[in-house]
Amino acid sequence: MILIAGAGGRLGTLVVSDLAAGGHPLRVIVRDASRYRPPAGAKVDVVVGDVTDAAAVDRAMTGASVVISAVHGLIGRGSHSIHETDVVGNQNLIVAAQRAQVGRFVLLSVHGASATSPMELTRAKFAAERALAGSGLAFTVIRPTAYLETWLDVVAAGRAGTARPRILGNGTNPINFVSVRDVAALVVGEALATTAGNRVYEIGGPANLALGELARELVAAGVCAGRSRRIPRRALRAASIVARPFKPAAARLASAAYLMDTIPMATGEGDARARVPGVPLTTFEHALRALDTLHSSQV
């Protein structure tokens, strides 16, 4: 049985769908069962619980042979901090997986995971990586660059048609974006892998694009209309502090957007496709043509 944490997100939804299509027994741990919608036709055992609750994680882990952790505390409706979700939550999953003696733990990290990164999420993911590396579990760590579909949603403000695109910051810093579909394919492959050994994969997209370029392409594709609305860097910095007590998710996004607009974010495709046959390379143009991905509420 495969346990998936973070199943309600954009990546998790694709992973559940692909694994369910293959007939694999699945369990997900979600905070609110009423808000979780399994993919159509998917048979999924739903356990209500939070990854920050060690007892709930232990219950969900019973009988698991593989664990996929796709949790993240950056974008979403949750009130947990990045540390609570990505450090404490992953530590709970790792400890429970040790007790259950699972065969493989697949951890979704981020490109550039480092203890000294200026970005909180990147530091938190690195801490989760270190905990997993010291656990004795067989593991796969996947380090994707920024998810293209998520940031298309951010720039499109989650709406289509007449909405003006929204650019957070100057919008001129080149960023490597990878399609979430490419990452999902790699996750599924590793969850079903029979080869032994611990593996760390870097996976990026084919091009480095600034947020301003995303906005122009969204207008050209008819997803948005009109001139871009810009949220200045100083406003992002202020929002990352002022909004924290009232809208923590908005504060986290503002902080991440400020850093993504100011620090080097350009890179290459990574090594995953060269090492794992069959992992797709979705182009920006193809992602734009699949416009239905822009309107998902799962980010």
> Given this model, what pLDDT does residue 161 score?
58
Whether residue 215 is contained in a domain is answered as: no
* The token pair that represents 137 in the structure block: 């579990």
The CATH number assigned to the domain holding 192 equals 3.40.50.720
d(CA 32, CA 20): 21
Q: Which domain holds residue 54?
A: 2-145+179-204+267-280
Q: Domain count of the chain?
A: 1
Asked, for residue 214, whether it belongs to a domain, the answer is no
In a domain, 167, yes or no: no
Query: What interhelical angle do 90-100 and 54-61 show, nearest 10?
Result: 40
Residue 211 within any structural domain of the chain = no
Examine residue 242 and state whether it is found in any structural domain, yes or no.
no
Q: Could you give the CA distance from residue 42 to residue 13 in angstroms, rounded to a whole number?
A: 11
Residue 12 lies in a domain: yes
Answer whether residue 255 is part of any domain. Answer: no
pLDDT in tens, 47-77: 999 999 999 999 999 999 999 999 988 775 5
Mean pLDDT by 10 residues, the chain (299 residues): 94 95 95 86 91 96 97 72 93 98 98 95 97 98 95 80 85 97 98 95 96 92 88 94 86 90 96 96 88 43
Whole-angstrom CA distances from 186 to 37, 164, 171, 238, 255 are 23, 34, 30, 37, 29
Note whether 28 and 16 are within 8 A (CB): yes
Distance CA 207, CA 84 (A): 33
Residue 299's pLDDT is: 37
In a domain, 174, yes or no: no
Whether pTM exceeds 0.75 = yes
